[in-house]
Chain A
Amino acid sequence: MKNLNNDYLNKFCSHIYIERAITAHPRTQKILAHFPHATVVTIDHYKDVFCRSRQSYPLQHGSQNLILAEKKGTLLYEGAPVCQSFGNQYFYYTSCMMNCIYDCEYCYLKGMYPSANLVIFVNLEDYFHEVEQMLKQHPLYLCVSYDSDLLALEQTVGYVKEWCDFVQTHENLKLEIRTKCASTGMVGQLAQTKDVILALTMSPQKVITSFEHHTPSLDARIAFTLKLLEAGCAVRLCFDPMIYLPGWETYYGQMIDQIFMHIDVNKLIDVSVGTFRISQDYLKKMRKQSPDCAVAWFPFQNENGYYHYPESLMEQMESFLTNRLAEQLPKEKIFRWTDN
């Protein structure tokens, strides 16, 4: 956000809200230890803070606080229609964390959540239990990093490691960990198995600089991909969402050149391509909260409650990138998003 004097705002996680019932939980204590100077506020239920009315997402993001809670009720959800299933029949996602430390202008979380504060659910065992129940019925392809970027908070929370350990002892379970993080120091901690797919979002540097605030650069993401591949991890590159901006063809073309130059793309398990799309309700909220956000104010086309770029532009952008990728990748490895 422009013109906000950040000197007036509290630092990241200056306050931590903790549900009374999980104050003594070992994960609560472990996370708290990372923030020795934070002020702790005890609450009854995370929604008492997270779901207050009239919150300002952009302002809160400038001074994000943490809420530690216990998630009750449903823990696994069927994949949403706007998400890519990669041909998996039993495609589910789960949210053991809500919100993200990064600040992508186009992020649907801005339209989905009433608050920008981070929520971490400490009862990971309950998630594991629900996964085990589901595995008794059928195999599972589970995305664990949709409503957050788990890897970006790994040093503090350690959930990626816990999920990786869980996968190693469970058959028929495949995880996708979506991230923009590029911390090469973490590579050793990640599972080197085909059942944990590290899905790195790739964007042209111009898009990163303009819209993906506080995220690693394209160079850093490429370097991270290389390290992961070297370590034997299963890596997917996600060119999704592609964001329109004047000169997009040049920027996306340069990005592909750069990737081809450094990465042997045939070592990737696959890639995904898709232009930006979002539910109309989320976009409405995003526009209200961020009147100056160009990505959100694009004159989209509305189709059955979802906004996307005009058909011709969408086709142009996705075909361009798919064709460029097809120069070095077999077609079966390129997943282009479709809504049917």
Chain B
Amino acid sequence: MAMTGILRPGHIQLRVLDMDESLNHYCNNVGLIETDRDEQGRVYLKCWDEQDKFSVVLEPSDRSGMDHVAYKVATEQDLWHYESKIKKFGIDTKRVPAGELKGCGERVRFVVPAGHTFELFAEKEQVGNGLSTTNPAPWPRGLKGMEPIRFDHCLLYGNNFDENFKFFTEALDFQLTEQIVDGELQLAAFLTCSTKAHDVAFIRSEKSAQLHHASFLLGSWEGVLKAGDIISMEDIPLETGPTRHGLTRGQTIYFFDPSGNRNEVFAEDSYVYPDSPVLTWTADNIGQAIFYHSRTLVESFMGVTS
């Protein structure tokens, strides 16, 4: 097994103001699949091609934003290994018992220097992707909405940027894939724990613990266009797109959920290996780095978070 340690974003728990509106958004329009609910009123969702029971948890709340994002590690030993690395870095950890989220094993919970709550876990019930594991079909029938394949990454705004970067690269072993720099100053860091263009990205900010967006992978550019159709058909607040990013070269569209949490769906971004060079975008070219065609920043995209 070549991939060890931290494998991927396992789930994101988003706070929502109105559960019915949110379920309509995430299930009917984005196209996630409901897999469970719990006594706290939380609803568990997954994308079709994920094996694990859930990758999005919607939590009823009077606030918007992200409660936490959790990454799956390969083995239980990895969980304790990273727990001790995090402590050694000087960050407190807490253990959340197995079953606190239905079907999820014990979680290690901690607050990263940028202010966001992250978790690691090793075990989650697998419910499969709806396809046989013997002679499987390429995709299941009856998918809804934008037909996302997986929860792919989140982009976060936070303070203590340099310390946070050190934490992710040194304590959690993430690899820098792309960055925006202004001279010596790193403004954005795209980080992976796998071979993806990013499993998380951070933007330097004065504010702590802000969610910029939660992102889902689609199969094609055609899918991004169809997402745009659904956004207009269903009167979903569109931010920008369909367009292409310079960073990660993903084809993308941005919109908001009914609680003001930003969503992205995208297709066909780049990939890395451990020996890939870091790609650098310069601040004087930030328009093209972010929106490759218009080369113009969208004001809300730079300022609005939840």
A binds B: no
Interface residues of B (CB under 8 A from A): none
Interface residues of A (CB under 8 A from B): none
